[in-house]
Amino acid sequence: MSSDLTSVPKGIAGPSNFLDERIGGANFLKRNLRKIFPDHWSFLLGEIALYAFILLLLTGTFLTFWFKPSMGEIAYNGSYAPLKGVMMSEAYASSLEISFDVRGGLLVRQMHHWAALLFVAGMMVHMLRVFFTGAYRKPRELNWLIGVLLLTLALVEGLTGYSLPDDLLSGAGLRITEGVAISLPLVGTYITFFLFGGEYPGEDIISRFYSLHILLIPGLILALVSAHLVLMWVQKHTQMPGKGRTNKNVVGAPFYPAFMAKAGAYTLFTFAVVAGLATFTQINPIWLFGPYTPADISAGSQPDWYMGFLEGSLRLMPSWEINLFGTSHAGTLPLSVIIPALVPLGLVMTGLALYPFLERWITGDHREHHVADRPRNNPHRTSIGMSAIVFYGVLWLLGANDELSANFQISLNWTTYAGRVLVFVLPALAYIITYRVCLGLQRSDSAVVSHGVESGVIKRLPHGEFIEIHTPPADDIEAHVRGKEAVPMLPVEADGAGIPPKGMRGPLGKLRARMSRAYGGEKIALDEGHGHGHGHEDEHAAIGSGEDRSLTH
Amino acid sequence: MTDIEHEIEQPDERVPKRVIGTPAPGTSMLGDGGPAARDAEVAGVTYQDETKARKAEKIVALCFTITFLAAIAFIISYVVFQVGSPEKTAISNLALGGSLTLALLGLAVGIVVWVRQIMPKYSLIQERHPMVSDEDSREVVAETFLQGAKESGFVKRPLLRRTLLLAAAPLGLIPLVLLRDLDNSKMPGAKFNETLRHTVWGEKTKEGKPLRLVVEGTGQPIRAADFNSPGGILSVVPEGYQHDLNALAKATLILIKFRPDEIKSGTNLNWTHDGIVAYSKICTHVGCPAALYEQTTHHILCPCHQSTFDAADGAKVIFGPAARPLPQLPITVDDQGYLIAKGDFAVPPGPSYWERGDAEAEARAKGGHA
């Protein structure tokens, strides 16, 4: 075995000196080389999105070398025999060229598409992790907002991307985009004519989407991702509750060498998974669809998965259309397009953006938080999150109702009728169930802390009763559980004269107080667990009952 | 390279000439941690058991070797497997993708084993500090801000301030103004919606005759007597516009032949010919082609969002998000017996838009049928 280094090798010391004498990097590195990164599997979810984005930049650049963003019509003369001589746009012809006439072209094209799906998926699960653990709380609200913006941009980036090949499927997506844009009141026709350079489809949309897709939006995403990482670095990562972990420290592995190597390996894993998918799983076989024409479509047209919820909400909507003035020249409001296209997306994105601020308003919690919540310990937040997931999920599922109908032999119309009801009922149900599950889990935590864990040893007492001996939980588990903190609450109690505190008097104040009482407070105190089957007292801690016991237990 | 740079950068009078092979002079920015300092037990850093580490080292080496071989295999595959047909591309894709996946995976697994089995286990602690700056800094910044504002004269001189704002306002508009020509049609914005009201069916051929209906794809005109497929539908486009996508986006039709007793009151019989009815194929919801037809029920279905129309009854909506029937095109036959358009649609086909208004009412008021 070779011996270890005793001094910095010349190859590294030389350039380092050169750099340090010019930019003074050692001051930065002294503080940051051993920066501590806490460890938890869920902290890796956002990294998937980051590495997928890097891969998107690499594969995307490769694709631009051959792709021609033009809608000029040519007769196909490539090597895919079934389409020989067919009139098509240069964009579609060059996409076929990448697929069949460039070595590795198909692989990179498929990697690009898979990485895009993974990019958005990574962002979404990362966002859910941040939401459910309350990692968006002060001081991280800004990074949360950047994240919401990134997700929005990623959706637009995806939409502009899958419209580029100009095959029949991508054209169907474009047509729906046009149908939605033109439905907007007052400005609809203007937006459409400006976007498409005239009437749909025109000859400009591919080249315009191309410059948005490869320059403007990725540039914005890159800038925001950098800001996202810098803020994360400066604020230091949150950590899960556990032994020795407090709001004032961060426990984990150093950036150099451990975290750096892990991040490198994780990048490679992400790349490998995408490469594996691109090798063994066909995605978007554009040559089967043929060139775009507004006169044709194939059944079972589906967008990429992240657009599925919009597709679902469009399918779900009843056929409402209003003519505001009853005249024949203005005032048409196609609600059957405007509502499903804008409301669910607006609801989800606005809700996400505002949540940290609403929560702070309701809890009155202005402290910094660096220890993540376990989702069960803030049951209302977790329930709201689950209900949003279910809302999104129902819409998403209904985006494929024709497939559901075909594969499971259900009446297509009934999938829609059921969806119209379920999109409201299931989120509410999810809320209630999640809330009960959270309280149940809190109760079991409290049982672990106050009674210990089952040891498997049965003991017979002198009077004949059998009991199982409980042993105290392991240190680290107990520390993890004891990291629980009651959800803060505003001082809402009325004083002796029955007058509520300042700021809780008007209608808005009263609402705030009521929400604070429901949202905040300790639902199940840790040290008064009763174990299974003895939770009768806890049953009073119902949703918004205002009977929740306070911290003092 | 670095050696030479070092030689150049070192002033001769300060440091003695280096002997080749000795450590570089001067302190390094990476510190000089000697073996004693490094091996000392640091709290929170637990070194791995050496025998385990040695075993892991072999696994890591194996992984890295796999990557080496797979990467070579990739390069060989690139040279060996050519593309040019779906079959060849499939083989090339499998070879290139498989070797790339293996190469990436080998490296990834190797590094993970390295980190987990060879590098120490860490439980290091770092202090956090509140993000907020201390009171002194904040005061200094506030004072500096006020001083700068005062020095600049921005507050004291209102004329300066107001004209600056005045100057900035139109400047901000310039990028927006420049976007006006995004619309290449060179028509005034108020005309946009009028363009949407008309399709090429309202135009005539060069000889001044009405446009014939031709089959999409083949371009064959349709002789009414030959079109006898009750139950089937035909996708139809205007003669001379088979490759004009802008025209097709509004003018594509579906042609259906009914027995006379099947047609209900919603369909305008004057616009049919011998039981042949032509509806716009462009869905009134968001514009997908409503391409599916169920002949037993006469239902036309749009595959995008499942709007369903009753073809026998004026294509009125019976299910789904579309709010309006598919417009019917008035058709007849020319002197040779071919199907032709009698004129344009009475109402705009395709998705709704703000300026569309109640086009159906207008058409009815003109004495027509919508």
Q: Are residues B218 and B107 in the same domain?
A: no
Query: Is B302 within 8 Å of B290 (Cβ atoms)?
Result: yes
Residue of A nearest to B354 (CA): A332
Minimal Cβ distance to B353: which of A4, A188, A311: A188
In a domain, B40, yes or no: no
Distance from CA of A553 to the nearest CA of B (A): 30
Q: Are residues B328 and B204 in the same domain?
A: yes
Residue whose C-alpha is closest to residue A549's, from A473, A446, A462: A446
Instruction: Write the burial class of residue B331 (CB in 10 Å: 0-12 exposed, 13-18 middle, 19+ buried).
Output: buried
The domain in which residue B112 lies consists of 45-123
Q: Are residues B116 and B211 in the same domain?
A: no
User: Residue A431: in which H helix or E strand, if any?
Assistant: helix A412-451
Query: Is B111 within 8 Å of B104 (Cβ atoms)?
Result: no
- List, for residues B316-357, the tens digit of each pLDDT value: 999 999 999 999 999 999 999 999 999 999 999 999 999 998
In angstroms, the CA A291 to CA A88 distance is 6
User: Residue A45: in which H helix or E strand, if any?
Assistant: helix A45-64
Domains of chain A and any CATH numbers: 33-70+89-240+255-298 (1.20.810.10), 448-540 (no CATH)
Q: Are residues B204 and B347 in the same domain?
A: yes
The encoded tokens of residue B138 equal: 């904040």
Domain end among B92, B123, B154: B123
CATH code for the domain of B278: 2.102.10.10
Distance from CA of A387 to the nearest CA of B (A): 25
Optimal mutation site among B250, B353, B364, interface A, most CBs of chain A within 10 A: B353
In a domain, B129, yes or no: no
SS3 readout for A119-167: HHHHHHHHHHHHHHCCCCCCCCHHHHHHHHHHHHHHHHHHHHHHCCCCE
The encoded tokens of residue A179 equal: 């149908």
Domain end among B79, B96, B123: B123
In angstroms, the CA B24 to CA A222 distance is 39
The encoded tokens of residue A173 equal: 């997506």
- List, for residues B9-50, the tens digit of each pLDDT value: 444 444 455 555 555 555 444 444 444 444 456 778 999 999
Helices (H) and strands (E) in chain B, counts: 9, 14
B 120-149 near A (Cβ less than 8 A): 120, 122-128, 130-131
Cis bond before residue A257 (omega within 30° of 0): yes
- List, for residues A79-113, the tens digit of each pLDDT value: 999 999 999 999 999 999 999 999 999 999 999 99
In angstroms, the CA B98 to CA A277 distance is 10
In a domain, B137, yes or no: no
In a domain, B151, yes or no: no
Which pLDDT value is given to residue B118?
95
Neighbours of B339 (CB within 10 A): 24
When pLDDT is cut at 50, 70 and 90, the band that residue B230 belongs to is low
Q: Are residues B206 and B333 in the same domain?
A: yes
In a domain, B169, yes or no: no
Which pLDDT value is given to residue B318?
95
The encoded tokens of residue B117 equal: 């089995």
Q: Are residues B220 and B310 in the same domain?
A: yes
Residue whose C-alpha is closest to residue A139's, from B189, B82, B348, B130: B130
3-state helix, strand, coil in chain B (%, to 5): 45, 15, 40
Mean of the per-residue pLDDT values of chain B = 87
Q: Are residues B108 and B214 in the same domain?
A: no
Residue whose C-alpha is closest to residue A91's, from A107, A74, A77, A116: A74
For A548, how many CA atoms within 13 A lie in the half-sphere containing its CB?
A: 26
DSSP assignments along B89-104, one per residue? HHHHHHHHHHHHHHHH
Neighbours of A479 (CB within 10 A): 15
Q: Are residues B206 and B347 in the same domain?
A: yes
Amino acid letter, residue B83: V
- List, for residues B151-176, the tens digit of each pLDDT value: 999 999 999 999 999 999 999 899 99
Domain end among B71, B104, B123: B123
Optimal mutation site among B2, B15, B19, B197, interface A, most CBs of chain A within 10 A: B2
Neighbours of A295 (CB within 10 A): 23
How many domains are there within chain B? Answer: 2
- Please list every residue in chain B whose beta carbon sits closer than 8 Å to the beta carbon of residue A253: 122, 124
In angstroms, the CA B154 to CA B151 distance is 8
Which pLDDT value is given to residue A260?
94
- pLDDT of residue B3 exceeding 70: no
- List, for residues B191-203, the tens digit of each pLDDT value: 888 899 999 999 9
- Please list every residue in chain B whose beta carbon sits closer than 8 Å to the beta carbon of residue A176: 286-288, 304
In a domain, B236, yes or no: yes
Query: b/e string for B264-293 if b means 16 or more Cβ within 10 A?
Result: eeebbeebbbebbbbbbbbbbbbbbbbbeb
- Cβ <8 Å between A328 and B361: yes
- Please list every residue in chain B whose beta carbon sits closer than 8 Å to the beta carbon of residue A15: 2
- List, for residues B91-113, the tens digit of each pLDDT value: 999 999 999 999 999 999 999 99
Q: How far is CA B32 from the centre of its chain?
A: 53
Which pLDDT value is given to residue B27?
43
Residue whose C-alpha is closest to residue A304's, from A71, A44, A115: A115
When pLDDT is cut at 50, 70 and 90, the band that residue B1 belongs to is very low
Neighbours of A390 (CB within 10 A): 21
- Cβ <8 Å between A329 and B124: no
In a domain, B284, yes or no: yes
Q: Are residues B215 and B305 in the same domain?
A: yes
When pLDDT is cut at 50, 70 and 90, the band that residue B368 belongs to is low
The encoded tokens of residue A468 equal: 């199982």
B 162-221 near A (Cβ less than 8 A): 179, 182-185, 189, 192-193, 195-196, 216
Positions of chain A with pLDDT lower than 70, given as ranges: 1-2, 528-553
| Cβ-based neighbours of A101, under 8 Å, separated by 6 or more | A78, A79, B83, B84
B160 has a chain A CB within 8 A of its CB: no
B37 has a chain A CB within 8 A of its CB: no
Query: Is A473 within 8 Å of A448 (Cβ atoms)?
Result: yes
B265 has a chain A CB within 8 A of its CB: no
- Cβ <8 Å between B305 and A311: yes
- The separation between the first and the last C-alpha atoms of chain B, rounded to the nearest angstrom, is 83
Strands annotated E in A245-379? 249-254, 322-323, 332-333
In angstroms, the CA A84 to CA A93 distance is 10
DSSP assignments along B166-225, one per residue? HHHHHHHHHHHHHGGGG-TT---GGGHHHHHH--GGGSB-TTSPBPBEEETTT--B-BTT
In a domain, B271, yes or no: yes
